[in-house]
């Protein structure tokens, strides 16, 4: 009897054991808040019960979507890693041979060199998905190939000087700025267009969301061409001399130009004057680079300094003395900064958040470096130099997780065609290019009552007198009543035209006022001396 009681005592009360990991995985508030979509709507301010219930339901759906997005992060198992040095060593001491010895075979194939000694120095450009690369030699050699499989797409010699090269919206088209004009070629090297409107071009940039090809030439002229319709959208002289330094802000599609006076100017196709003009160096500006979020900018001059700027406040964050002039700068997707100094590339880590003493990596190239560019979604840095092209491994440079709907490195031919159609349908008009992107989301606070009153005032304005003599008509068409009727019709038509003209003038005036206010706001925030700088200003005595 006692044995039976002890056996019953050992038996669990519930035959089915509860799972200790029952239900969905817990989420931290920080992970959920990263996917927040603005502030919650206060339902207390809503009067009707129906509307209040609708708002509560929408807020629940939004919070549920935030949690799902945070939980989906677990599927992104790819993580970015950096070089870690042993005790007594530094990561800048490691060479490419040291790195290739410890990485897998697939990564080893990403380190290679292309020797092209007769046509350099070379400029390079990767596609948005990081799959293809375009090389342009100063002496006319142009080549495009899949750098991972080493499969050549096209190769040619244009038999004249090549100043710059630029991929367009897909790897099927690219632009080449040659000595006299700019040409567009397909992926087989066949000439499609000759853009005679873009003459003597030194630098090219492509805005993918607007389908705009931006060019800067030696005559100080800035041009915008819409390649989807083949039309020139805007073009104006900058009056700052030879334009051989240009880049774009990937966040708001603003074009940045560097000038010989040490200034950097920011341009939009909607305004003929620079939106912002910053004095960055006491010597000529050599190169500019803007990181992916558009919040930070790196500049360098012939004084051998690299400066990091905050584009939200237009203030200097850090300044580094490199010693020799820096000829090119490039930000990676993970905010590594590469600087080309002679035949050496210095790569800096955490240069935006704090001041650093030593570079993260240093690599020496076979020739004098002309152009550097990080490959998207890969830990690879492309270097174009006087003896060809080099591809270096830089751990931690690329974004490990990509959005296949935005830029897909593994897309098929069908996916590329669908993406091209979608890009054309989603094309943003150049009128929306603005320094402050928050302006597009703001609501016009003028009430509907004010708009209605303005329209009523226009209706009661006295129309101007019109000298109208009706033409004589037979068969009773020139009776007194009919003549007056015809006169009244002409008066009303004239009144409508006057109202249209007044409304048009008012719209133009409102638009001009908005641009003036925006300029004043930018000038106040920047606190930069806006006086016209002279050549000898740099030698003036500074206040101690």
Provide CB contacts within 8 A for 160, sequence distance 6+.
140, 178, 179, 180
User: Do the domain assignments include residue 42?
Assistant: yes
Q: Is residue 13 part of a domain?
A: no
Query: Within a domain: residue 339?
Result: yes
Query: Which residues touch 472 (CB under 8 Å, ≥6 apart)?
Result: 478
Pairing between β-strand 212-217 and β-strand 201-207 as defined by DSSP bridges: antiparallel
Tokens coding 54: 């609708």
Provide CB contacts within 8 A for 198, sequence distance 6+.
Answer: 177, 181, 182, 213, 215, 217, 223, 225
Grade residue 382 by pLDDT with cuts at 50, 70 and 90. very high
Whether residue 432 has pLDDT greater than 50: yes
* Helix, strand, coil percentages in the chain from 3-state DSSP, rounded to 5: 25, 30, 45
Would you say how long the chain is, in residues? 544
Question: 275 and 182 in one domain?
Answer: yes
Q: Does residue 383 share a domain with residue 279?
A: yes
Indicate the pTM of the whole model.
0.72
Contact 304, 262 (CB under 8 A): no
Same domain? For 172 and 39 the reply is no
Is the domain of 157 the same as that of 278? yes
Proportion of the chain above pLDDT 90, given as a percent: 56
Together in a domain, 36 and 154: no
Least confident of 37-41, 315-319, 343-347, 363-367: 37-41
When pLDDT is averaged across residues 419-438 and rounded to a whole number, the result is 92
pLDDT at 22 over 90: no
Residue 142's CATH number: 2.130.10.10
Most confident of 35-39, 71-75, 354-358: 354-358
pLDDT in tens, 250-285: 999 999 999 999 999 999 999 999 999 999 999 999
Lowest-pLDDT range of 99-103, 159-163, 252-256, 388-392 = 99-103
Residues 64 and 97 in one domain: no
488: tokens are: 């009244």
What pLDDT sits at residue 2?
A: 47
* pLDDT over 90 at 400, yes or no: no
Question: What is the pLDDT at residue 20?
Answer: 67
Flag whether 20 is in a domain: no
In the prediction, which pLDDT does 357 show? Answer: 85
pLDDT at 529 over 60: no
Least confident of 63-67, 173-177, 180-184, 251-255: 63-67
Q: What is the DSSP letter of 437?
A: G
* Average pLDDT of the chain to the nearest whole number: 86
Helix (H) or strand (E) holding 221: strand 221-226
User: Please, are residues 164 and 202 in contact by the beta-carbon 8 Å criterion?
Assistant: yes
Closest CA to 118 of 60, 67, 157: 157
What is the mean pLDDT of the segment spanning 425-441?
89
- Mean pLDDT over 136-161 rounds to 95
Give the mean model confidence (pLDDT) for residues 377-396. Answer: 95
Task: Name the band, by pLDDT with cuts 50, 70 and 90, for residue 476.
Answer: low
Look up residue 443 and give its DSSP letter.
P
Tokens at 93, concatenated: 């001491």
Q: Which is nearest to 343 in space by CA: 320, 370, 307?
A: 370
**Total domains, the chain:** 3
Residue 496 within a domain: yes
Listed residue (243, 252, 193, 241) closest to 223, CA to CA = 243
Give pLDDT, residue 56: 87
Residues 55 and 128 in one domain: no
> Minimum mean pLDDT among 5-9, 166-170, 331-335, 384-388: which range?
5-9
β-bridge partners, 223: 215, 235
Average pLDDT over residues 207-229: 96
175 and 317 in a common domain = yes
Spatial contact of 459 and 452, defined as CB atoms under 8 Å apart: no
The pLDDT of residue 519 is above 90? no
Q: What is the pLDDT of residue 21?
A: 66
Indicate whether 439 belongs to any domain: no
Q: Is the pLDDT of residue 412 over 60?
A: yes
| 310: β partners | 296, 315
Place of tokens 């002229």: 221
- If asked whether residues 359 and 477 sit together in one domain, one would say no
In which band, very low, low, confident or very high, does the pLDDT at 47 lie, cut at 50, 70 and 90?
confident
Asked if residue 136 is part of any domain, the answer here is yes
Facing residues of 321 across strands?
A: 305
Spatial separation of the C-alpha atoms in residues 332 and 383, rounded to whole Å: 13
What mean pLDDT comes out for the span 172-185?
96
Q: Does 422 map to a domain? A: no
| Confidence label for 1 from pLDDT (cuts 50, 70 and 90) | very low
Look at residue 15 and tell me whether its pLDDT is greater than 80.
Answer: no
pLDDT of 240: 92
Q: Which of 120-134, 248-262, 328-342, 473-487 has the lowest mean pLDDT?
A: 473-487
Contact 240, 282 (CB under 8 A): no
Cα 456 to Cα 305, 335, 451, 452, 498, distances in angstroms: 62, 56, 9, 6, 14
pLDDT score of 472: 64
Is residue 469's pLDDT more than 70? Answer: no
Domain boundary pick from 47, 75, 103: 75
**What CA–CA distances, in Å, run from 19 to 7, 22, 24?**
24, 5, 12
- CA distance readout (Å), 212 to 104, 242, 300, 333, 505: 40, 22, 27, 23, 30
For residue 28, pLDDT over 70 is answered with yes
Position 13 pLDDT exceeds 60: no
Domain co-membership, 248 together with 221? yes
Q: Of 394, 415, 436, which closes a domain?
A: 415
203, 106: one domain: yes
71 & 149 share domain? no
**Token representation of residue 3:** 């044995």
pLDDT for the residue 81: 78
Q: How far is CA 486 from CA 466, 480, 489, in A?
A: 13, 10, 5
The pair phi, psi for residue 494, each rounded to 5°, is -65, -40
**Residue numbers of the domain that contains 465:** 447-510
């Amino acid at each position: 009897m006692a044995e039976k009681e002890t056996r019953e005592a050992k038996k669990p009360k519930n035959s089915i054991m509860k799972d200790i990991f029952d239900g969905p995985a817990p989420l931290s508030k920080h992970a959920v808040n990263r996917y927040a979509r603005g502030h919650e709507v206060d339902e207390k301010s809503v009067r009707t019960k129906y509307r209040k219930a609708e708002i509560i339901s929408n807020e629940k759906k939004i919070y549920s979507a935030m949690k799902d997005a945070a939980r989906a992060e677990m599927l992104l198992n790819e993580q970015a890693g950096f070089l870690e040095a042993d005790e007594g060593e530094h990561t800048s001491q490691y060479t490419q041979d040291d790195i290739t010895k410890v990485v897998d075979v697939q990564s080893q194939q990403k380190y290679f060199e292309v020797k092209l000694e007769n046509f350099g120095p070379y400029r390079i450009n990767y596609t948005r998905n990081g799959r293809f690369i375009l090389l342009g030699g100063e002496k006319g050699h142009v080549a495009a190939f899949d750098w991972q499989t080493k499969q050549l797409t096209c190769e040619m010699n244009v038999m004249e000087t090549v100043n710059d090269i630029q991929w367009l919206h897909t790897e099927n088209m690219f632009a080449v700025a040659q000595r006299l004009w700019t040409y567009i070629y397909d992926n087989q090297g066949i000439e499609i267009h000759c853009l005679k409107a873009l003459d003597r071009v030194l630098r090219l940039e492509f805005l993918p969301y607007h389908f705009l090809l931006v060019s800067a030439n030696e005559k100080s002229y800035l041009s915008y061409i819409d390649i989807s319709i083949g039309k020139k959208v805007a073009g104006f002289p900058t009056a700052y001399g030879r334009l051989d330094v240009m880049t774009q802000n990937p966040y708001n599609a603003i074009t940045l130009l560097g000038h010989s006076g040490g200034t950097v100017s920011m341009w939009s196709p909607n305004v003929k004057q620079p939106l912002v003009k910053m004095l960055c160096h006491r010597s000529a500006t050599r190169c500019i680079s803007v990181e992916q979020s558009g919040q930070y900018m790196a500049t360098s001059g012939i004084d051998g300094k690299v400066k990091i700027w905050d584009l939200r406040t237009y203030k200097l964050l850090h300044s580094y003395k490199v010693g020799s002039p820096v000829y090119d700068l490039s930000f990676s997707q993970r905010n590594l900064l590469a600087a080309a100094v002679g035949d050496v590339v210095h790569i800096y880590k955490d240069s935006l958040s704090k001041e650093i003493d030593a570079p993260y990596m240093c690599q020496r190239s076979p020739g004098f470096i002309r152009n550097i560019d990080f490959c998207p979604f890969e830990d690879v840095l492309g270097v174009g130099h006087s003896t060809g092209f080099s591809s270096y491994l830089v751990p931690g440079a690329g974004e490990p997780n990509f959005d296949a709907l935005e830029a897909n490195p593994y897309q098929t031919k069908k996916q590329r065609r669908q993406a091209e159609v979608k890009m054309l349908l989603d094309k943003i008009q150049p009128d929306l290019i603005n320094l402050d992107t928050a302006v597009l989301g703001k609501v016009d606070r003028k009430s509907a009552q004010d708009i209605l009153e303005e329209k009523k005032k226009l209706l009661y304005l006295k129309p101007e007198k019109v000298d109208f003599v009706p033409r004589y008509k037979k068969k009773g068409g020139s009776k007194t009543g009919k003549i007056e009727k015809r006169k009244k019709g002409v008066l009303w038509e004239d009144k409508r035209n006057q109202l249209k003209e007044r409304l048009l003038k008012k719209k133009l005036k409102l638009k001009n006022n908005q641009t003036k206010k925006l300029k004043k706001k930018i000038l106040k925030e920047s606190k930069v001396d806006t006086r016209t700088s002279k050549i000898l200003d740099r030698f003036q005595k500074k206040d101690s």
